[in-house]
Amino acid sequence: MAQRKLQENQENRVPDEWFKPVDKNKGEAEAVVRPSLSYWQDAWRRLLKNKLAMAGLVFLVFLTIMAIFGPIFSPYSVTETNLPNQNQPPSSTHLFGTDELGRDVFTRTWYGARISLFVGLMAALIDFIIGVVYGGIAGYKGGKTDNAMMRVVEVLYGLPYLLVVILLMVVMGPGLLTIIIALTVTGWVGMARIVRGQVLQIKNYEFVLASKTFGTKTSRIIRKNLLPNTMGPIIVQMTLTVPAAIFAEAFLSFLGLGVSAPYASWGVMANDGLPTIISGHWWRLFFPAFFISMTMFAFNVLGDGLQDALDPKLRR
């Protein structure tokens, strides 16, 4: 019996050849297989893998280029009327057709893109500046200062947005500047709340406490230690602020509270094209509505992609 078990063990024994050391010099053994990536390089690499977010980014780049150069290279003017060519369908002469005054819809669409992108980017930039400064101070100071500052935020957050816009329109009159002011009077509170929450979490980290111990000024701690570590959520919030501002501008222009005629914005074009659907002039509403929808969709999918790419928990 014992002899049979010994024979079985010898048969199941792993060959010694399997345990021979691999020939490798010291340099190869210590070589780094994967290059070290910074936080932003790794975020960009992960963003490239998100096909939907990259498609949104490509569309926004295309939209920006056409908004800048489209009206410049177009043979037609934004405000020039040509009554004999009114309500012409899309053709090789007028790619997006013409409106009731014979104006080229293609040129007016890209001019409207200028206004919409300008309003969205300016609103996001102002929200970024005010929200980051306000939320950073509130989160870093804490205590009574934080409570007092956040009560102001809650009051502004509770104001009806449309009521604020109408009051500003009555006082200042309709126009592009009024729209930007109306969007930013209460628009920065969301950014401030996000920055405050991030600062409250990060200010107790060791590197921040070390800076305090060495007597670093508060402004420098916020600028050098806190803000760089909150840029991920801030960038994501900005990508979501831009489409909200674009839609708000289009909505206000649709109601007649936006850009004044004869200049174009997507909201004005949609308002002018809505009554013509019954008469079969579908292109006048389709193109501004299409670009409003696609721009909002592109910014939203890009924001979702950035949120995943900038999340340190998903970093490998």
Report pLDDT for 268: 81
Per-residue pLDDT at 65: 92
* Rounded distance between C-alpha atoms, residue 259 and residue 177, angstroms: 9
Domains of the chain: 47-70+105-314 (1.10.3720.10)
Task: Please give the pLDDT value at position 60.
Answer: 92
Choose the weakest-confidence range: 8-12, 28-32, 39-43. Answer: 28-32
User: pLDDT of 91-125, one tens digit each?
Assistant: 888 888 888 888 888 888 898 888 888 888 888 88
Cβ distance 114 to 74 under 8 Å?
Answer: no
Of 209 and 60, the structure prediction assigns the larger pLDDT to: 60
- DSSP bridge partners of 98: 104
Each residue of 63-101: b (16+ CB within 10 Å) or e? beebbeebbeebebebeeeeeebebbebeeebebbbbbb
> What pLDDT, in 10s, does the model give residues 155-195?
888 887 777 877 887 788 777 788 888 888 888 888 888 88
Q: Assign 59 a pLDDT band (cuts: 50, 70, 90).
A: very high
Q: Is 106 exposed, middle or buried (0-12, 13-18, 19+ CB in 10 A)?
A: buried
Q: Give residue 62's pLDDT band: very low, low, confident or very high (50, 70, 90).
A: very high
pLDDT of residue 305: 85
Residues 245-291 pLDDT 10s: 888 888 877 777 777 766 778 888 888 888 777 778 888 888 888 99
Coil vs helix vs strand at 312:
helix
pLDDT exceeds cutoff 90 at 61? yes
Give every CB contact of residue 153 below 8 A, 6+ residues apart in sequence. Answer: 134, 189, 192, 193
pLDDT of 58: 93
Three-state secondary-structure class, residue 104: strand
